[in-house]
Amino acid sequence: MPTCEPKSALPSSRSEPRLFEVLLLFAVTASVHLFTVCRVGSFWDLSNTWFDRADYLTLATMIRHGRFPDGLVPPYFWGFPYAIAGISKLFSIPESVALVLIAMSASLAVCVLVHHLYGGWVATLFIFLNYQWIQLSVEGGSEPLFVLLVYASFEAVRSARWHWAALLASLSATVRPVGVFALLSFAVILARRKSYGQLAATAVIALASGALYVLPLWIVLGSPWGNFSGYQSDWGSPGNAWPLTYPFGALIRGYLAGLHEVRWPNYVMSLAWLGVGVVGGVAIWLPRNRQKFAKLQPEALFASIYILFFISYNSVQYAAWNLPRFFIPVLPLLLFSLRDWIPRDRRVLWTAAVLSALLASAGVVSFRKVFGFKLP
């Protein structure tokens, strides 16, 4: 007689991915991307022209050798170049190798952190959903280190280690200035809880870290605000530049100006990520997510301030077309707010991960060289 086996209440294909599977997906995605890029040409030659990598390497070289030629110092924040110069000096390796080593190691650590904080499905999707994250992890960029420091500060908050949280968030602000939003969210939560002692200690740590950071800038550039001077040209006319405008103001002007100038894939991708950011940001505060974020108030507040800042960023030429990259640091929180919509079929996720890795390669070496044809 045939026996009837009880059906599983939760198919194995829908069970939460364990950390090993998340790390395996990361390794496969990075390997596919790296292999595809190296088939076309030298990894180092191709990656050195990618995004702002060359500027970070220039800064790291200047810091390591202590020489800052007038007018040639890139305006980027120095936290990432400090790390590059330090690793390069410590292991006696070229700055370009140190940059990739930091980015890959930080990205790997982010996988572990996101899995621990938000679960396997969020960590899995975060690895590949935005293919620019794959590029930033393999070719190298400041985002992996920034995301690591920010989410490590969230982990410290969950265990009530506010001093460590303040220090890690302060360090993240030296990599990307928007790290200050994490500090602001911590201050708001502590003030609401009337934890004035913790609030004062957090403020002291943040101010001390900021003072130590701006002191070399003051000496080298002649101003503690030297990092910001290079961005002012993006904010409007000289003497009337302001980094913020009303929400969507610069974005709408940028999209209208790019109708006949920007290629449609970039246009669609930017609009898609704007939609993800706005929908996910609103979803964080919906009643159905209230219990989910009840203990994650600093993270929710950080995501909201961060998204509001970038949809109000006053740069017509810069904001819209860099929005996919800008939203990467809050992507785990957006995915967590939309967690019920994540597909639970591993076949879909793994196929999408490989496709995303190929798209990341196309962004470095061209679409035609990866897929064999050119987009219209």
In a domain, 324, yes or no: yes
Range of the domain at 263: 242-342
The structure's pTM equals: 0.93
> What Cα–Cα distance (Å) separates residue 339 from each residue in 74, 200, 215, 284, 288?
39, 36, 43, 11, 12
Inside any domain, residue 67: no
**What does the pLDDT profile of the chain (376 residues) look like in tens digits?**
444 443 433 345 578 999 999 999 999 999 999 999 999 999 998 888 778 899 999 999 999 998 888 778 888 999 999 999 999 999 999 999 999 999 999 999 999 999 999 999 999 999 999 999 999 999 999 999 999 999 999 999 999 999 999 999 999 999 999 999 999 999 999 999 999 999 999 999 999 999 999 999 898 888 888 777 767 767 765 555 788 889 999 999 999 988 888 889 899 999 999 999 999 999 999 888 878 787 788 999 999 999 999 999 988 878 888 999 999 999 999 999 998 889 899 999 999 999 999 999 999 999 999 999 888 7
Q: For residue 348, is it within any domain?
A: no
Cα 362 to the center of its chain, rounded Å: 20
| Phi and psi based region of residue 236 (left: phi greater than 0; alpha: psi -120 to 50; beta: remaining) | left
3-class DSSP state for residue 313? strand
Does 317 map to a domain? yes
Q: Which residue, 154, 177, 134, is CA-closest to 324? A: 134
Evaluate whether residue 323 is within a structural domain.
yes
Q: Is residue 138 part of a domain?
A: no
In three-state secondary structure terms, 7 is coil
Helices 180-192 and 297-311, packing angle to 10 deg? 130
Q: Which amino acid is at 250?
A: A
**Tens digits of per-residue pLDDT, 55-92?**
999 999 999 998 888 778 888 999 999 999 999 999 99
Hey, how many other C-beta atoms are within 10 angstroms of the C-beta on 291?
8
Are 175 and 149 in contact by the 8 Å Cβ rule? The answer is: yes
Q: Which residue in this structure is represented by tokens 């982990």?
A: 155
Domain count, the chain: 1
Helix (H) or strand (E) holding 201: helix 196-221
Residue 50 near residue 135 (C-beta atoms within 8 A): yes
188 in any annotated domain: no
Tell me how far apart the alpha carbons of residues 321 and 255 are, in angstroms, rounded to a whole number: 9
Closest CA to 308 of 292, 325, 326: 326
Q: Is the separation of the CB atoms in 244 and 312 below 8 Å?
A: yes
Backbone angles phi, psi at 244, to 5 degrees: -120, 150
